[in-house]
Chains A and B, each alone.
Chain A
């Protein structure tokens, strides 16, 4: 599903060059759940951004479902994201002017899908928010917001779900509920899961962990 080879990312800060990722290579099979762990600043989020094609590497390649991400241009990568990828973020990133239902509908609406409302409603019911469809993000608790975000990520039936510290902003109990939900949906839909986390317990629930230190895979 995912094939990463020789991935390197350098940024220039002032006079010096900073290497965030150095020659990272790995593969992830379809349906696998993989945790990316490491200390702060080890390059976890950068790796996730590159896997999603949100950023470009200094060197190396990323293939998703056999397609080389960085051969594509910006819009080509966007089209690939629309087809294959879903996201869950630490800060939820819900749009404040839209209700829970509209937030979940949005990715479908953007692809011009026919029955966006029904799909979105079903998924929100599945994540336990059937009663909160018309609430705005600011009227929802942190856990509820993240459940909306998860519903939004799964609504396009992605083959690969990327999650960046999905429990980072939540208390332990709520976080555990969210994790359970993600793994359940992952299993139900056969999605491949790549999860960036600090949380050792969470990483152990994944089939495999990739540990980053100083930008290198250990």
Chain B
């Protein structure tokens, strides 16, 4: 009962404070914080889903289960039970014949509903305008691709012999959603209706058939299915997702996610600073109220209880408002992205709203509760002696708990301890360094004896309120840093990212080039006025041992690791590291390697296989066994679309092994004839078309750039609230002091100059901190996320410093301008 009385009273007190405008700043800080976190959450959630779904167009489905034997019907029935759309497919290599020509083709038998994601396009004649297919090949007909059509010298109405069947060609396939998956389906394509498959007689024991069940549906249902499927997989069966199939897409998706989650982290930090400042101001203004309550005979516990209840209610209310604002912004986002995202944006779940709510409440209580508890210890004697402040020690506790809450939120948002911890530590160190720098500069400047009373007074103020000044400088610095990062650094970074994948990035790979074909290939390009692409030697070998211990896929539980061990690795050699690689451990051998039995391994694959620096790997290349030690690990920029290798050795280790060459080049659209000529002259070449993957990645970059702009609007708002809160934090004190000075006879211009000089100094310090911080953040983003070189931007320094001085001086001047026009007595009465 007593508790409910307290709740009632706390709510009444809250309403009174609200009406008097005491809580506006705290509430706005929480609303903006929650709105930005919620929007980023909603946004990241939906855009991620949309990007993944778009990427899944390359897979033709959301998830594929495949096996080398017929799949148990339960894979289909379970998917249907979960409400997923299901199609089945069989694919295998077989000869296709017509006009006395035979070609090894990739046969694909499909059921109605294929493809569930992406677009299958067909045309009626070679190079005729194409259109989206509305169904699969009708029973009794086949569709073939341009390559097969050309090679078999087909004409309209011809039939193709597939196994024991003779089937007329119904259409020419111009685009298949799942054509870019892996190396396996580089052969010419024949697509037929599943119903025609038995008649071909091709499905027999020993046929190299891949059976596939393809599903698509809501993200939740797909996730549930995925979990179920993993528990059911038998030998030879596996789950295919786009991330497994295309490292380029995985890499781009990861980057998009990192970009978005960093944006979320930045808004959390800004929100925390704004709330901390606002809560501090609120508490300072409520010291008297607490002292009065104690004087009225309210127990310490009840004072604390009443205030904590008020803050819980305030936090809950403001967080709900923030969630609603986030939802509204989310609608705006859908409209904004509507023109960009070709697939429908999936609806966001309630989770981001819950995250936002928890974030708002945790931040507010984290920063407000320790000082509130300290309020309970306010001496009631303060009613007689106003100079008694807060009990000592409470401020630190407040910041420690607040920092712990921020750390928790950052780690939660980052999704993993290491990244979250690093981001938090980075910010914490930056804040401490900024604080120390501000302290040192204030100490230094206060020794200066400038001319003019106003200047001296302004500087003296900085020194007198040293702690408050440092807090103000650091808070302003963070706010301005966010603004600089959002404006200048962001556009520079996005430009860099877009430039990292130029319009003429390689979109075709040629594999299996033999040594003696190299001169002819160079000539082929030269006669067509195309610069000959760089050829990379490649040796295919199977990993047989790690540290002289035999390796088998059954040693690994991870699906990817198993497949890596089961298949052949592509190895190459080089003296210099590719420019899109980043050394993460060990040393590169350089121009003159001291030994030749060493490997540089791709970091991700080393982790998947549990290989460390110093491990000795044994390979078998067509019977030739060799071993070398891993001496360095590299991060590979797969979405650069350059030829890259999991394993690279120095010259001298691989040259005597069976080798071929591989290359990549850019083929402008509409030059299919060049490919045909290439295949005709070099029939053994394996041509891999990554044009669609490339377009996909480029689209992703554009979309993420646009998306980031939208989300940054909120972060920008959070930054502005921080600026306002920082200026407001010392406003009362300044008004009071200026009023006293006016009473003592200071002229308006003297006061204005004193204020201006103090704010300009604070602005300059904050500007320096902001520019340094923004540059550091830009460097981290460029180096760690986009993997491009970052040059420190002089523009940031110039703009940061000038805008900061002018902005802070102007805002500070406007905030205390009243004192120049209002009767001093009135100000004194309001502040007393």
Contacts and interface: CB of A to CB of B under 8 A. Distances in A.
Interface in B488-507: none
A14 interface: no
A82 interface: yes
Nearest to B17: A97
B297 A54 contact: no
A78 interface: yes
A185 B383 CA distance: 23
B22 A83 contact: no
Contacts of A66: none
Contacts of B385: 45
B515 interface: no
A95 B299 contact: no
B294 A91 contact: no
Interface in A119-177: 136, 138, 156, 164
Given A54-B379, A81-B297, A110-B298, A95 B5 contact: no
A82 B381 contact: no
Q: Which of B17, B297, B383 has the most CB of A within 10 A?
A: B297
Contacts of A109: 9, 12
Contacts of A138: 829-830
B231 to A, nearest CB: 59
B297 A93 contact: no
Contacts, number: 83
B293 interface: yes
A79 B299 contact: yes
A74 interface: yes
A75 B301 contact: yes
Interface in A58-80: 74-75, 78-80
A89 to B, nearest CB: 6
Contacts of A85: 297
Contacts of A98: 16, 20
Given A95-B292, A112-B2, A112-B5, A48 B384 contact: yes
B149 to A, nearest CB: 82
Nearest to B298: A110
Contacts of B386: 91
Contact of B384 (A89, A107, A112): A89
Nearest to A56: B381
B282 to A, nearest CB: 11
Contact of A107 (B296, B299, B379): B296
Given A54-B381, A82-B298, A89-B383, A97 B5 contact: no
A81 B295 contact: yes
Contact of A96 (B301, B302, B830): B830
B832 A91 contact: yes
A89 B385 CA distance: 11
A75 B830 CA distance: 32
A46 to B, nearest CB: 9
B292 A49 contact: no
Given A49-B384, A109-B9, A110-B293, A97 B20 contact: yes
B379 A110 contact: no
Q: Which of B300, B381, B385 has the most CB of A within 10 A?
A: B381
B8 to A, nearest CB: 9
Contact of B16 (A48, A78, A102): A102
A87 B383 contact: yes
A164 B297 contact: no
B786 to A, nearest CB: 50
Given A75-B299, A87-B383, A95 B289 contact: yes
Contacts of B293: 106, 110
A146 to B, nearest CB: 13
Contacts of B289: 95, 97
Interface string B382-394: 0111100000000
Given A102-B16, A138-B829, A49 B381 contact: yes
B831 to A, nearest CB: 9
B288 interface: yes
Contacts of B302: 110
B299 A45 contact: no
Contacts of A156: 296
Interface string B797-832: 000000000000000000000000000000001101
Contacts of A112: 2, 5, 9
Interface in A197-216: none
Interface string B251-295: 000000000000000000000000000000000000011001111
A106 B9 CA distance: 9
B20 A136 contact: yes
A54 B384 contact: yes
12 contacts: A54-B381, A54-B384, A55-B381, A74-B300, A75-B299, A78-B380, A93-B292, A96-B830, A97-B16, A97-B19, A97-B22, A138-B829
Given A87-B295, A97-B16, A112-B9, 10 more contacts: A49-B384, A54-B381, A78-B294, A78-B300, A79-B297, A82-B297, A85-B297, A95-B288, A106-B296, A164-B384
Q: Give the 8 A-B CB pairs with smallest separation, nearest first.
A: A82-B297, A81-B297, A97-B20, A75-B299, A54-B380, A54-B381, A107-B296, A78-B297
